[in-house]
Amino acid sequence: MADTPGAHKNGLPLPSEIVQLRGTARRLAELILDQGDHQYEGFHWLRGTYGGVAEHLGVSDKTIQRIASSAPFHRISLVTPEDGKHVLIKWGTDPCETDLVRRLRASWKIGLAYFNGVAVMAWPIEAQKAKYAGKPYKHLLNRIQEAQKWEPVLEKLKAGERISYEVQPHEVGLLRECVKRLGDDAFAVIPCVTSWEGWHLFIAYAKIADRIKDRHYHWPTLGPIAGNPDIALQAYLDIKQEQGNISLTESNRLNAKIAALEPKPST
């Protein structure tokens, strides 16, 4: 049976959103409908490479990349041991978990840059005070040197330039855990607890709760945050309340979520 406008090759009508498309975008949508059976993070995707999809549709790689990167399509690039570098393309712009992790990754790296910007100013004062008091201070000098490595990144951010959001593989897993446990609140909590004030408050709370033992966390670290989302959320809430920048309704919601995230006593 020949294809007809508005009809899928299996004889069923095409969704109206696809019927409205034209050219390569229409054919890509139909290809996703035909062959997009790869399940990933709650969605069905067309799995392949830009080159493979482009060859199938008789267009250039750049054309597929441009169309797949714009609504009503959505794509993510992945590298896995099984498939190497490939792309997933789906119909609809709803974000998947990987999208949320990548968004959170950006907040994390930006927060680290600004934290170290404050550290470069604060730690020399602490080192000077320790030196005059006859206390150990050379460890602070080492920390200052490490913090100074972030100065070029911070300068780029302040100038509105792009920076690298790449993180270590294990950090991707920890960011994913933050998204799973904190949900949408992760995008407010992570920048907060990565700030100078937020990190020190979070660590203080974690020590009081006896969640952190035998280790000092001078820099924001994802492990303690992912492992203690209730404390991270509490630190965020307290800072917002101190600033007078949160409603009673929102405070009640966060308090309920903190209680739900608290570790349950073993029986």
| pLDDT beyond 70 at 86 | yes
Class of residue 234 by CB neighbours under 10 A (exposed 0-12, middle 13-18, buried 19+):
buried
Q: What is the mean pLDDT of residues 120-130?
A: 91
Q: Is residue 112 a contact partner of residue 149, using CB atoms and an 8 Å limit?
A: no
- Predicted TM-score of the model (pTM): 0.80
Please list, in sequence order, all residues whose beta carbon lies within 8 angstroms of the beta carbon of residue 192, skipping any fewer than 6 positions away: 198, 235, 236, 239, 240
Between CA 53 and CA 61, with CA 59 as vertex, the angle to 5 degrees is 60
Q: What is the mean pLDDT of residues 7-17?
A: 59
- Average pLDDT over the chain reads 90
Q: What pLDDT sits at residue 13?
A: 60
Domains and CATH numbers, the chain: 16-94 (1.10.10.10), 98-261 (no CATH)
Query: What are the pLDDT digits (tens) for 185-232?
Result: 999 999 999 999 999 999 999 999 999 887 778 899 999 999 999 999
Give the chain's length.
267
Q: What pLDDT sits at residue 264?
A: 85
Q: What pLDDT sits at residue 80?
A: 84
Rounded Cα distance, 30 and 21, in Å: 10
